[in-house]
Structure 1
Amino acid sequence: MMLTKFVDPLPLVETIQPVCLINNIPYYELSMKENSQKLHRDLPPAKIWGFNGHYPGPTFHVWRNQPVYVLWKNELPLKHFFPIDTTVHGASKNVPQVRTVVHLHGGVTPEGSDGYPEAWFTRGFEKIGIHFKHKVYFYPNQQPATTLWYHDHAIGITRLNNYAGLTGFYIIHDQNEKNLHLPSEPYDIPLLIQDRSINEDGSLYYPSQTTPPNETVNPSVVRVFFGDFILVNGKVWPFLEVEPRKYRFRILNGSNSRFFRLTLNNGDSFIQTGTDQGLLPTPIKVYSLLLAPAERADVIIDFTDQLNQTIIINNDAETPFPNGDKPNLETTCTVMQFRVNKPLLMKDQSQVPLQLALESIIKEEPQYKQRNLLLNMQTDPYKRPIHLLNNQKWSDPLTEIPKLGSTEVWNLINITEQSHPIHLHLVRFQLLDRQPFDVNIYKEKGKIVTTGAKRKADLNEQGRKDTVRANPGEITRIIVPFGPYTGLFVWHCHILEHEDYEMMRPYYVIS
């Protein structure tokens, strides 16, 4: 099926408003609902699951040090509309098909509000074990200005719930960011980029089998998923009409498995001002912007001298990344279009200052605990290859138990053939470096023999992060301050097909 590009305007996602104040704390309510939504002008409406019935969900705009309450409601049907593999951990036949728990990705939140994968809740008022219909979360918002996002995190079906549409932006503002005079609303626009496959009748397609099919398990979890169409804010290949001035775009790769390497077809650069956890130390000019699933980039595009031009964001990232196939030139190579055709409403007084973030660099010290953590593969009882963290499964005993207030260096040793975006809940870490090593020697002898020098983090990765690309055949080192809360959290690969099937582990911060 072919669809015409650039016929739908980019949806500008609405901002959610609090219902009321509780002890001077804003209180919000969101319901997860089934709805129908047109993904392209020439398609019938598709069934989606969305927050307040919208895909993407409404955007939160909150201020640093102003906490909020959020009541998440599950008002979804009792039966899933995507195939569920009941051999996957947490998704067995003895649990409800439709389960949800919301994670504020990148949020520094207490244990009870983090969205632990097993703390799911269902539709209806009945209590099932520790699980309830509704859950009120408390978000302190104590971190610096940044672009976060919220999404479903239910164990065993995260890939399906997110693919159905349960995703939205959560943006924290602060006075430092405001004082920088970066482009602001309406010239500050979040962009949720995802891939999807769509049936002829307009409905979303998600595979029930990998290729070749597994004869033992049907439906079966797939190793990775790559859709045929690129959507931005829920529309296939949209366009955005802009003024000849600077715009700020908060770009999120919300795909299940697809990496994006974004470029502008006129050869201009992105000016990157922020990453996952807020502003970079200084603006970085990048002509190619690589984003793994769950990574974010805060960028400025200057359209000042582009009046009457059209500019396309293209993608040339391999699937799987980095050793797979190039995107299709007719479809997944294209993301969206800008049309510089609107009159300048007022003089552009926004700035790109030379200095941005106020946070200091986290320095590595000899006393910091070092953890070597393997990213590897194994075969499951049905002879399917699965990805693991440190050769362990979700239900294995806890092994990562950092102390509150401690700082550790995690060495992610990737002996698989693809990059894994590793996400840690609770913390805001920093990428130290990457170093190649001999994978064959490691597999044979369990010994690390490096084959090159350490490479420092790219300039546009040198801010605080919560998700990092761990490349194949490399040791990726991150430095992690643990706090400010104790409790049970998780770390995992954010390729959702990997996360759902064992590439996720709990960790516990102790006092």
Structure 2
Amino acid sequence: MTGILRGRPAAWLVGIVACTLALVALDAGGGTEGRTASAEPVRNATIVVEEGGTRTGFATPEVTVGGGGTVTVVNLDSMDHTVTSVARAADGTPVFDVRVPAGTSATVPGVEGLSAGAWAFFCKFHPNMRGVITVEGVAGGVEPVTTRFEQPLVVPSTRRGADIRLVMRRAKVRTLPHGPRTSMWTYDGSYPGPTIRRRGGRGTEVTVVNRLPRGAGSMSTHLHGDHHASADDGQPTTQLIRRGDERTYDYPLMVDGRPEPGSFFWYHDHRMDRTARNNWRGLQGMFIVTDPPTPGLRLPQGRRDVPLMVSERSFTAGNQLTDPFADGPEMSGHHGDMSWTGPDAPPDDATIGDKVLVNGRYAPYLDVSATRYRLRLLNSSPFSSYNFTLSDGRPFLQIGTGSGLLPRAVVRSSVLLGPAQRADVVVDFSGATGQRVVLGSVPASSGETGDDARESAVMEFRVGAPAADASRLPSRLPSPRLVSPVPSKVTQTWTFGLEESAHHGSAWTINGRAFDPGRVDHRARLDTVERWRFRNTSDVTHYVHIHAEQWRTLLRDGRRPPPWERGLEDTWRLEPGEEVEVAARFTDYTGPFMIHCHMLDHEDHGMMARFDVAP
């Protein structure tokens, strides 16, 4: 890191903080001489973020304010932060929300109208940072509102043919329960696009047509997780689909001469510098590869096999998507030396929505029988992670990842998924007739894996009567073979970091360099096994995705991975300071492929690299 401009507060701001910390100490019980138990609550309060807040949290995570008072946020960190309420208003937006750029201060709007009580808050950019504002005394009338599940879940239409045509076009779709429909960029007029369902080994050609509005630009569709030729990978800068044109992608659904294992893939736009924008506007869909019937394996099927794409968006008062990309950041430099400037430049680039959507709808419900269901969970958000739980404590039985079944089923009380990660789980609703079970996301305890997950209700299951159920809960599973043996030495190390310059701006980098589509960062030989290591030297978590192959997880921080990471994977959570080692055999295809962070702003702002598979 060559220099940091942000995070240098003015002298007056330092003075304010010194006074603030003294007041906070008094309010917390230090120096209480002269105060009585009946003293009026402090009229105003200050929340402080010190340097390194992404690691240490708010310096004053618990503050008390008198009714009608104000709360000021002072940010001494080198990163932007927010103070955002966990509680929601009737329209589903946070009761209060303020962004505080590095080295500035701001007043939290709406605090003066809050009712008495404890109001939890967090930073949207770094959800591990959490705190509580306690309102005392005479207060306002604003109360938290329980999420209302008012519209049914919609399962996207299914395409099963060998030749599929998807037209990218603008369409109005129902996302919110009331008011106008939302204009989005879609595949075939729906968000998500149609779900493609094909058996492994049955070749599939998908023709994508670009009929998006003028100004949308060229597009590139990537089938995330699949094994296919480089030319069909949705390259970020080549083989693009211009407006009015079309491109046919060939997916043989084969790996090294064998049918591809049953998997839960998804397709989405992958256009360089525009991936976050194009996904935000709706260019996403699901792709399920199925196995042939397996004797003895009786998983839920038909209507009890439900794909769930979880994402998030923010909307205007007229139910239209907001445009978080309108103000940049601006790119400077050239390929090989790219960096970004402006208020949303790295590390302050994070596209986050106010409302969580499931299959494109806010707070939906699904009527289920008191039987077992297979839920295929996909986090297609641009930035946020979710730690999924069920409101009655009912467990998940995880049977697979996005890349196939696990060797053994794993009972889990929560399932943490970052951007692009998937989990194949079974939930048994037996005994819950008449109940409403909420699928939600909750952060883990501070300092534990998943403490940066967003907190939100996601959807509701309305459990009806029992019904005939031929499924069974499995223990051992016919999981795909893992590559073995693997090299004892690491073939390639990929270091994910942040580079900032006092003169040129900032960029997310891999091995110290921002993405250059013309630069080959590593070469692998066909029909060889390589062992790769990921390292995170930045202060934020990344989600590492590799194209081309499906990978075996070997080590996480030098230890055997947890049971739910012992199958095939294509995307890994990489926390600050963490190291992960993976291995794969390069088969079938040569040419350029990508490795990148799947937090889409990070990908767009440099955190991608190219590797070539050579004969």
* TM tier relative to shorter chain: 0.7 to 0.9
- Computing the radius of gyration from Cα coordinates, the structure with the larger value is 2
Q: Which has the higher contact order (CA 8 A, sep 6+)?
A: 1
Listed as ranges, the gaps of 5+ residues in structure 1 are: 19-25, 81-97, 125-132, 436-453
Aligned to 2:522: 400
2:458 maps to a residue whose letter is: V
Aligned to 1:289: 415
Is 1:106 the equivalent of 2:207? no
Q: Per the alignment, do residues 383 and 317 of structure 1 end up closer, same or farther by CA in structure 2, a change over 3 Å counting?
A: farther
What is the Cα deviation at residue 484 of structure 1? 2.3
- Secondary structure of 1:162's counterpart equals helix
1:407 maps to a residue whose letter is: V
Aligned to 1:334: 457
Aligned to 1:455: 559
Matches within 5 A, 1:68-467: 68-80=204-216, 98-119=217-238, 120-124=240-244, 133-142=245-254, 143-175=260-292, 180-208=297-325, 217=342, 223-317=349-443, 327=454, 332-341=455-464, 343-344=465-466, 346-363=467-484, 365-366=486-487, 369-379=490-500, 384-395=505-516, 397-435=519-557, 454-467=558-571
- Secondary structure of 1:244's counterpart equals coil
Does the 8 Å contact 1:323/1:417 carry over to 2? no
What is the Cα deviation at residue 217 of structure 1? 4.8
Task: Write the distance in 1 (CA, Å) between the matches of 2:574 and 2:344.
Answer: 30
Q: Per the alignment, do residues 380 and 121 of structure 1 end up closer, same or farther by CA in structure 2, a change over 3 Å counting?
A: farther
Aligned to 1:11: 154
Task: Write the distance in 1 (CA, Å) between the matches of 2:462 and 2:330.
Answer: 44
User: Deviation per CA, 1:84-104, whole angstroms, max 9, x where unpaired?
Assistant: xxxxxxxxxxxxxx2211100
What is the Cα deviation at residue 399 of structure 1? 2.3
Q: Per the alignment, do residues 176 and 300 of structure 1 end up closer, same or farther by CA in structure 2, a change over 3 Å counting?
A: same
Aligned to 2:187: 51
Percent identity reads: 31
Q: Per the alignment, do residues 317 and 116 of structure 1 end up closer, same or farther by CA in structure 2, a change over 3 Å counting?
A: farther
Task: Write the distance in 2 (CA, Å) between the matches of 1:402 and 1:307.
Answer: 55
What is the Cα deviation at residue 210 of structure 1? 8.1
User: Deviation per CA, 1:301-335, whole angstroms, max 9, x where unpaired?
Assistant: 000111111111111248999697674xxxx5211
What is the Cα deviation at residue 385 of structure 1? 3.4
What is the Cα deviation at residue 387 of structure 1? 1.3
2:600 maps to a residue whose letter is: L
Task: Write the distance in 2 (CA, Å) between the matches of 1:228 and 1:262.
Answer: 17
What is the Cα deviation at residue 43 of structure 1? 3.2
What is the Cα deviation at residue 212 of structure 1? 12
Q: Which moved more, 1:213-222 or 1:384-393?
A: 213-222
Task: Write the distance in 1 (CA, Å) between the matches of 2:553 and 2:504.
Answer: 35
Task: Write the distance in 1 (CA, Å) between the matches of 2:402 and 2:294.
Answer: 15
Does the 8 Å contact 1:48/1:165 carry over to 2? yes
Task: Write the distance in 1 (CA, Å) between the matches of 2:326 and 2:305.
Answer: 40
Length, aligned pairs only: 455
Is 1:61 the equivalent of 2:197? yes
Does the 8 Å contact 2:305/2:374 carry over to 1? yes
User: Deviation per CA, 1:417-461, whole angstroms, max 9, x where unpaired?
Assistant: 1221111111100111222xxxxxxxxxxxxxxxxxx23211111
What is the Cα deviation at residue 300 of structure 1? 0.5
What is the Cα deviation at residue 220 of structure 1? 6.6
What is the Cα deviation at residue 36 of structure 1? 0.9
- Secondary structure of 1:103's counterpart equals strand
1:391 maps to a residue whose letter is: G
Aligned to 1:449: none
What is the Cα deviation at residue 393 of structure 1? 2.0
- Secondary structure of 1:39's counterpart equals coil
Does the 8 Å contact 1:264/1:314 carry over to 2? yes
What is the Cα deviation at residue 213 of structure 1? 11
TM-score between the two structures when normalised by the length of structure 1: 0.84
Is 1:2 the equivalent of 2:90? yes
Task: Write the distance in 2 (CA, Å) between the matches of 1:266 and 1:377.
Answer: 41
Task: Write the distance in 2 (CA, Å) between the matches of 1:324 and 1:367.
Answer: 33
Is 1:470 the equivalent of 2:571? no
1:199 maps to a residue whose letter is: T
Q: Per the alignment, do residues 27 and 238 of structure 1 end up closer, same or farther by CA in structure 2, a change over 3 Å counting?
A: same
Q: Per the alignment, do residues 2 and 351 of structure 1 end up closer, same or farther by CA in structure 2, a change over 3 Å counting?
A: same
User: Deviation per CA, 1:442-500, whole angstroms, max 9, x where unpaired?
Assistant: xxxxxxxxxxxx23211111110111111211111111222221111111110000011
Q: Per the alignment, do residues 160 and 211 of structure 1 end up closer, same or farther by CA in structure 2, a change over 3 Å counting?
A: closer
2:229 maps to a residue whose letter is: P
What is the Cα deviation at residue 191 of structure 1? 0.2
Does the 8 Å contact 1:209/1:218 carry over to 2? no
User: Deviation per CA, 1:125-155, whole angstroms, max 9, x where unpaired?
Assistant: xxxxxxxx21111101121011111111111
Q: Per the alignment, do residues 501 and 44 of structure 1 end up closer, same or farther by CA in structure 2, a change over 3 Å counting?
A: same
Aligned to 1:438: none
TM-score between the two structures when normalised by the length of structure 2: 0.70
Q: Paired residue for 2:165, among 13, 29, 32?
A: 29
Does the 8 Å contact 2:329/2:342 carry over to 1? no
Listed as ranges, the gaps of 5+ residues in structure 2 are: 1-88, 92-146, 255-259, 332-339
1:232 maps to a residue whose letter is: V
Does the 8 Å contact 2:386/2:453 carry over to 1? no
- Secondary structure of 2:289's counterpart equals strand
Does the 8 Å contact 1:428/1:466 carry over to 2? yes
Does the 8 Å contact 2:479/2:567 carry over to 1? no
Q: Per the alignment, do residues 461 and 503 of structure 1 end up closer, same or farther by CA in structure 2, a change over 3 Å counting?
A: same
